[in-house]
A and B are shown apart, each in its own frame.
Chain A
Amino acid sequence: MKSFLRALFSILFALGLMASAPALAKAPPGGRPPPGAPATVSSKVTVDVLVLHATNGNTTISQQIPPSVIKQLSMLNFTGYSLLQNHTATLGLKQSTNFTVGAHRFELQLLSKTVQDAKIRVQIFRSPGNNKVLDTTVTVHRNKSFIVGGPPHNGGNLILPITARYPAPAASGS
């Protein structure tokens, strides 16, 4: 029995390695340093993006959306909010992350970082044509959030609360 299990794990491992080779080759930017690397002062920022869909077609407010967010959006006069995505990326200097929601592509880039705040560039592109709709650079206090919204989506609008999180010091390898 034991020998069978061991063989099964080995096969799965081999398949996994084959599938994840590209992902591993393109390690997520800002990922954890390889084991054995000495602990260093983190120069990275984790960018958290909530992708919300705001509409007046219903009055449903997703429970997954933090109440603090709903409170900030009250002035927009939408009746229903749903959480489409929670995008998180740890970025080093000049590194960027992007994701797509419907016809819009969002790209966020860490331009600079200090102890107190981080400068983040937010670009919104719309398809077809990958036309740039918005290009803004914001310097935001560490662990604080701001909101970019407005792109139309499914009869409503997309709203993106963006947070620049300063991660805890990286652990050293075992």
Chain B
Amino acid sequence: MPGQQLEQLLIRIRDGEAHDGALEQARTLLRADARFPEELRRALDDDDEHEVADSAAALLAVLGADEGFGASLADAIFDEAGLFTGSPGAHADDVANDVIAATHPNERATSVAHAVHAMAGDIDVTHEVLAELEQHMATFPIDAAVRWHAGSVEVATDVLARLGLADELAPVAAAVTQQSGPVDIVTSVLSTLALEDVQIPLAAAIAAEAGEVDLVSAVMRATDASWVSAMLDNELDAQARRLATQQLRGNREALAQMTAFADIGRQLRSGVESEAGDVAYIWPAIAEQIGIANPESVPGWDGEQVAAAVRSQAGSVDVTTAVMGRVLSAQITTSDDVEAIPVPANNPWAPALALAAAAMFAVFVGAPAIFGGGASVPTIGDTPELAFAQSDEIIINDLSYAENASVQVIQAQGENGALIIWVDEETTL
């Protein structure tokens, strides 16, 4: 703007900083500037530099751009110039505004806006303000406010949908469920809200609502008598067994079933006993079970041990008597039931026969006794078979022989080889 440019040139001229072109330019702008009276428009025409600087200062003062009494000087000038018309008050205000508007255009606009607003009254800027706020309301708790004031789910949904807050639906649903009350409403609400994946302790809710449920009876009725068998075989855990016991108290059918199972067990055991058979056949299995490596060789054999092992396998089978009877049969025992030699009665030949027998005894026994020989009659014929002692049935306690003799202790070949003590005589003592 020319006015501002003139001011700037005047300031330079006043401060002695203007170049030649600046003075001439200032002179040109001044001559055309209507803000100055005609007489002042040639103030810069002087050639003297100092005079020009002083004139520039004065012009600035007229413009009010200096630190001096610009407004007062302006008043004074205008008073002298006789430019004012109208009432002194109104005329002063209009001039003031004009001057202010001319000299301070920006301030003039702000002031005008303020003045206008102050005069215009209330202006509805809520919509605009809210629109602006929506752009920056990342955490604006509209949903919380909606929930607080919603009153009903439908309103909450509609409001949230209109606000584009569908992602915030889950908290709303949680709030709904918290307020909903009965369990069945929870389900329908959740399905409406498509929140099937929401983890809600439904089972606990059912249990809380359902109360004590007699599941044991229902389950057991549904699974027939298998639970009875399991109970008999001690296959139920503690809790199940306790419940089963309670059920048994009034369940005659189950009790009968248990009795039948127990009878089966007894029948099985008696069947095993009857089939156990000879002790000899089960001895190898028993021996192995009781830790005897070789059933055929039992050091320190104890019949009671065998009987106890057999009983443990076969139940109440009395083998002791039978087995021990076999063991003891070979022992030498006293016998009180020896047959009495029958005495012939009323036989007239009895005395004669007795004498004859005595005579024969005397002949065959007495004669050898007189003439020497063995204490027994050598019998040739009817020699019985011999059973030779095995290695574990014979012990040589002592052995000595002549100096010139030699002795070999030999075991004959074969499965049941006999012990042979063979002496080879060379010379005798």
Contact = CB atoms under 8 A, between A and B. Distances in A.
Given A26-B369, A145-B388, A150-B422, A131 B428 contact: yes
Interface string B330-369: 1111111011110100000000100110111111011111
Nearest to B395: A139
Given A89-B375, A141-B393, A73 B423 contact: no
Contact of A39 (B336, B356, B386, B412): B336
Contact of B425 (A24, A68, A133, A137): A133
Interface in A11-49: 12-13, 15-17, 19-24, 26, 28-29, 39-42
Most chain A CB within 10 A, of B332, B398, B410, B412, is at B332
Interface stretch (B169-177, B226-234, B377-385): B377-385
B429 A131 contact: yes
Contact of B400 (A97, A117, A135): A135
B417 interface: yes
Contact of A169 (B334, B340, B365): B334
Given A86-B379, A134-B405, A150-B425, A23 B386 contact: no
B244 interface: no
Contact of B429 (A23, A26, A132, A139): A132
Contacts of B402: 131-134
Contacts of B413: 74-75
A40 B339 CA distance: 15
A152 interface: yes
A37 to B, nearest CB: 12
A67 B395 CA distance: 25
A124 B393 CA distance: 23
B418 interface: yes
Contact of B332 (A88, A115, A144): A115
A5 B352 contact: yes
B118 interface: no
Interface in A127-149: 129, 131-149
A23 B358 CA distance: 13
A56 interface: no
B374 A169 contact: no
Most chain B CB within 10 A, of A19, A40, A122, A126, is at A19
A98 B374 CA distance: 6
A72 B366 contact: no
Contact of A129 (B363, B393, B429): B429
Range of interface residues on A (Cβ < 8 Å): 35 or more
B401 A24 contact: no
A145 B369 CA distance: 28
A69 B424 CA distance: 20
A133 B383 contact: no
B375 A41 contact: no
B363 A88 contact: no
B412 to A, nearest CB: 4
A72 B390 CA distance: 12
Interface residues of B, number: 69
B352 A126 contact: no
A64 B334 CA distance: 35
B238 interface: no
B376 interface: yes
A43 to B, nearest CB: 9
B128 to A, nearest CB: 128
B338 A150 contact: no
Nearest to A139: B395
A10 interface: yes
Nearest to B338: A171
Contacts of B398: 121, 135-137
Interface string B65-97: 000000000000000000000000000000000
A77 B383 CA distance: 23
B25 to A, nearest CB: 160
Given A64-B381, A86-B380, A115-B332, A145 B389 contact: yes
B386 A12 contact: no
Most chain A CB within 10 A, of B352, B386, B428, is at B386
B198 interface: no
A39 to B, nearest CB: 6
A136 B400 contact: yes
Given A12-B359, A41-B334, A136-B421, 9 more contacts: A39-B336, A76-B420, A89-B376, A133-B405, A145-B389, A146-B394, A147-B419, A150-B425, A166-B332
Interface of B: 330-336, 338-341, 343, 352, 355-356, 358-363, 365-370, 373-376, 378-381, 383-389, 393-402, 405, 407, 410, 412-414, 417-425, 428-429
23 contacts: A13-B355, A15-B362, A19-B362, A20-B362, A24-B366, A42-B332, A66-B384, A72-B418, A72-B420, A87-B374, A97-B376, A115-B332, A124-B423, A126-B428, A133-B423, A134-B401, A134-B407, A136-B396, A137-B397, A139-B395, A146-B419, A149-B423, A174-B341
